[in-house]
Amino acid sequence: MNNGVVVAGVGMTRFVKPSESPSYTELGADAVRMALADCGLGWESIREAYVGYVYGDSTCGQRALYGVGMTGIPVINVNNNCATGSTALWLARNAILSGRADCVLALGFEQMQPGALVEHWQDRPGPLDEFVRAADEANFDPGAPMAPKMFGGAGIEHQRRYGTRSETFAMIRAKASRHAVHNERAIFRKEVTVDEVMAAPKVTSLLTRLQCCPPTCGAAAAVLCSPEFARRHGLDGRVTIVAQSMTTDFPSTFADHDLMKVVGYDMTAAAAAAAYAEAGIGPEDVNVAEMHDCFTANELITYEGLGFCPAGGAEKFIVDADNTYGGRVVTNPSGGLLSKGHPLGATGLAQCFELTGQLRGTMGARQVEGARIGLQHNLGLGGACVVTLYRAG
């Protein structure tokens, strides 16, 4: 196992509705300034920058960073759908592990348009054609928007296989809302009950509107460095990334005609297994996790993909409250995408922000007591999945 890459500084803007959002240049620059202030470094210390966003021109990363400083460093723009932020983080970590740079920035932002997030998935071209076809062939919820059709269909697959109740999916959203009450950066901070989730307007036969993440604007950033750089500059080196794995689709994604696999179950399981092996730990060692809960159905099947419970065990895991405070692993203490919001390019780095704070022990009312190992799961269709493991040292 490597000695880890230090998460020296993190920053995150408040996530807001598109109608309330400043420009992406303001969002991105603000997150970077916060991350630099958090570690006490100036812009001149950054040797490379990896900038993630989904909606924007090819050099929006430069445009956002030029408001902070212009030092001629490499700026690499990243787009990996909803896994974009974690892909930028993965690239930044590998730049340090390679020895090419000793202090690197990862930034993610998104300035989305008004309207339900489910509508942003309509008419996505080219690379997602196979996913549309897979959902249509499964014949779940004809006429529903593509993303909730697929993720909702994955939930229905789980119901058919294991008898999972619809109310169990709604329990995930209710849990997310309880956590988000204590997150001042979350877009939705009102607690909702299972009954309220179930009574919300239907998007698919399984998912209600409250079980789908909202379109959101925001930014988050992380400054990564080598342990040697952190010691040399007197930086806070308590939190390190000790393992990370990125996977893309396997033949099983489409060949098995299983919507759980279409939406990334196999990618998740493979990335998690590789990350656990690299870190020399198992899922039982994880105290806190930030997971890609774009829809409640995805969080439920991801519990199993990450090994938090056995196949078919997600309902018991949820009913026993093993996914929240006092349980086995606190999932999405931030409120997750469902309550915190999902500005696509920023999501992975917002997860990094939350887990770094949790492992530092600085998250106030939502602090997970005794958190030592954190897991980050970020998924994008098309497809990519990044699993990252953090340790408090």
Question: What's the pLDDT at 334?
Answer: 98
Give the tokens for residue 267.
């990618």
Per-residue pLDDT, averaged over 71-82, amounts to 97
- What domains lie within the chain, and their CATH numbers? 5-115+214-392 (3.40.47.10)
Give the H or E element holding residue 103: strand 103-110
pLDDT of 116 higher than 90: no
Question: What's the pLDDT at 123?
Answer: 43
Q: How far apart are CA 393 and CA 390, in angstroms?
A: 10
Residue of 277, 197, 221, 242 lying closest to 374 (CA atoms) = 242
SS (H, E, C) 268-296: HHHHHHHHHHHHCCCHHHCCEEECCCCEH
Mean pLDDT of the chain: 93
Question: What's the pLDDT at 242?
Answer: 98
The pTM assigned to this predicted structure is 0.95
Question: What's the pLDDT at 137?
Answer: 64
Give the tokens for residue 70.
């212009």
Could you report the per-residue pLDDT of 317-364, keeping only the tens digit for each?
A: 999 999 999 999 999 999 999 999 999 999 999 999 999 999 999 999
Q: Residue 128: which pLDDT band, with cuts at 50, 70 and 90? A: low
Q: How far apart are the first and last CA of the chain?
A: 15
Q: Which residue has the tokens 């750089």?
A: 229
| Burial letters 130-161, b for 16+ CB under 10 A, else e | bbbebbeebebbeebbbbbbbbbbbbbbbbee
Helix (H, G, I), strand (E, B) or coil at 104: strand
Decide: 180 and 335 in contact? Cβ < 8 Å. Answer: yes
Q: Residue 119: which pLDDT band, with cuts at 50, 70 and 90? A: very low
Could you report the per-residue pLDDT of 241-300, keeping only the tens digit for each?
A: 999 999 999 999 988 889 999 999 999 999 999 999 999 999 999 999 999 999 999 999
Catalytic center residues? 82
